Structure 1
Amino acid sequence: MKRNVTLYTVDSFTEEIFKGNPAGVCILDEELDDHTMQSIAKELKYSETAFILDFRDNIYSIRWFTPEYEVDLCGHATLAASHVLLNDIKIPFDSILYSYNNGVIKASSEEDGKIGMDFPMDEPEANVSFDYSDIQKALGISEYTNVILGKHTGKLVFELKDENSVEAINPDFDMLKNISIQGLKGVGVTANSLGQYDFVTRYFNPWAGVNEDYVTGSVHTLLAKYWSVKKNKKDLKAKQLSSREGEIELHIIDDLRVKLTGKARIFTKGEIFL
């Protein structure tokens, strides 16, 4: 049976098109099978595509797929979906509840066109138990201040000495792809910022079919806790220094939750003919 799926492309964590991180958003009127969702994500080639289905009373099911596999959590595609629901579909609510495999995410309209998302907060492991020297070599890192591993997200992040060092990173993606470490779900670099931001970041995940992710909400659920402790503050502003750049505001809610806030722009709207 043929069916059409409404598809949006949304640039997230930016208010300008061609900036931030593009995500696909598929609005479903009934469930799709996993194979079809994965095929759509592979065809679109965005770092993530979100599939949302209205359950009832403003509660939506949400799932996220990279071009290669389904992921447990995604910030920028959730922001993209929220922007579509609140600003294009114009649901009669100011907030949305998303049900996903590990719980619930709440997204809410804020002033100045921003959307805040209540996410589970990650925390650094006490120590990194595996040898990451090959990753360090593939990233081209000669020196670093610290290395952080997300307890829940499995993301490995090197803290570098300054912002220029983060900008200068030029990974060997072929080498990265050939490194296999159980539980590792992406690698990044971060550094303190002396400007209007508290810290800067870049993030790489060639294993998911995306060499560099332009703006990554999920890695900031780890870095929010890390930089909050280092800077002794609960409100932080971060910039991801990819070629498209993007901004994320972070607010530590409590020991378990963090709010990620940003803007988004719809780039395209159309239909997928299945």
Structure 2
Amino acid sequence: MRLYIVDAFTSEAFAGNSAGVVLLDSPGDAGWMQSVAAELKHAETAFVEVGGDGPKSLRWFTPEAEVDLCGHATLATTHVLGGEQTFTTRSGELRCRAEDGWVSMDFPSDPPRESDDDLSAILPGVAFSYVARSHQNLFAVAEKASVVRSLEPDLVALRARWTGRLIVTAPGDAGGVDFVSRFFAPGVGVDEDPVTGSAHCALAPYWAARLGKDELVGEQASARGGIVRMSLEGDRVLLSGQAVTVASGELHV
């Protein structure tokens, strides 16, 4: 089987978010896919069936669990395959396109809804102006980007809460960037995800409503960092980013 390592949401190697991409001729066993993902140790590894015509089955695994939606590994898969692609996934049918060095992905919008979650055990002493939940993530808004950049959450406390996933965001502090964010997901074995496409399905509708604009640019302020472009279209979010293939080879087992 062909195996690729791709850095997604970046135009430079060793930045953005790395993903494994495995090309399958037929459906893979879930336990085997989980073992491969644990071996590769990327935030997510994508498994895509390329045999036959029509939409391609696509699944994503962290080192610990299968997930319903992953943006950066979908971007990486589309980057590897090229052209227009339609994937059947646990989040429905996803249409993607690789063109002129960019990959665009049509994902479902996931607007956060205000909640009464107390995050003080996870982030002691940090004040938030808004706390909510999206489909599977806690969601919190800070007043300044500097707060988001300096966060050191208690990952044990977060892992014990609901799905163990948290998006934190604030207004942007650089030209051309509408907001910054970080994403922590110890609940699925990813302490901090470098750049998270699926999180922007929640970030896009929140910031579109707050800023009164449907075209947005977000910076995920992790150590590796990355830029995500978004266009909100009704109940869909068009996510766009670049990618770099770092390695390719064969998976022998």
TM-score, L = length of structure 1? 0.88
Query: 2:109: which partner in 1?
Result: 121
**Which ranges in structure 1 are unaligned for 5 or more consecutive residues?**
87-93
Give the 5 Å matches for 1:169-184: 169-177=151-159, 179-181=160-162, 184=163
Alignment equivalent of 1:78, drawn from 74, 79, 84: 74
Q: What CA distance in whole angstroms lies between the structure 2 residues aligned with 1:36 and 1:217?
A: 25
Cα offset for 1:167? 0.5
Cα offset for 1:56? 3.5
Q: Does 1:168 align with 2:155?
A: no
Q: What CA distance in whole angstroms lies between the structure 1 residues aligned with 2:81 and 2:50?
A: 11
Q: What CA distance in whole angstroms lies between the structure 2 residues aligned with 1:13 and 1:209?
A: 21
Which of 235-244 and 136-145 deviates more?
136-145
Q: Does 1:35 align with 2:31?
A: yes
Q: Does 1:242 align with 2:229?
A: no
Cα offset for 1:54? 2.2
Query: 1:102: which partner in 2?
Result: 91
Secondary structure of the equivalent of 2:120? Answer: helix
Give the root-mean-square deviation of aligned CA atoms.
1.4
Q: What CA distance in whole angstroms lies between the structure 1 residues aligned with 2:5 and 2:42?
A: 9
Query: 1:190: which partner in 2?
Result: 169
Q: Deviation per CA, 1:201-242, whole angstroms, max 9, x where unpaired?
A: 000011211100000011100010000000110100000000
Secondary structure of the equivalent of 2:2? Answer: strand
Give the 5 Å matches for 1:147-162: 147-150=131-134, 152=135, 154-162=136-144
Q: Counterpart amino acid of 2:177?
A: Y
Give the conservation status (yes or no) of the 8 Å contact 1:141–1:169.
no
Q: Counterpart amino acid of 1:142?
A: V
Give the conservation status (yes or no) of the 8 Å contact 2:78–2:85.
yes
Instruction: Give the fraction of aligned pairs with identical amino acids, expressed as a percent.
Output: 40
Give the conservation status (yes or no) of the 8 Å contact 2:158–2:165.
no
Query: 2:58: which partner in 1?
Result: 62
Secondary structure of the equivalent of 2:80? Answer: helix
Query: 2:42: which partner in 1?
Result: 46
Q: 1:157 to 1:235 in 2, by over 3 A?
A: same
Cα offset for 1:174? 2.8
Cα offset for 1:30? 1.5
Alignment equivalent of 2:182, drawn from 202, 208, 212: 202
Secondary structure of the equivalent of 1:273? Answer: coil
Cα offset for 1:140? 3.4
**Which ranges in structure 2 are unaligned for 5 or more consecutive residues?**
none
Query: 2:203: which partner in 1?
Result: 223
Q: Counterpart amino acid of 1:29?
A: D
Secondary structure of the equivalent of 2:198? Answer: helix
Cα offset for 1:117? 0.3
Q: Counterpart amino acid of 1:128?
A: S
Q: Which of structure 1's runs of 4+ aligned residues deviate more than 4 A? A: none
Secondary structure of the equivalent of 1:62? Answer: strand
Flag the structure with higher helix content.
1
TM-score, L = length of structure 2? 0.95
Cα offset for 1:171? 1.5
Cα offset for 1:147? 1.1
How many residues end up aligned between the 2 structures?
Answer: 252
Cα offset for 1:58? 4.7
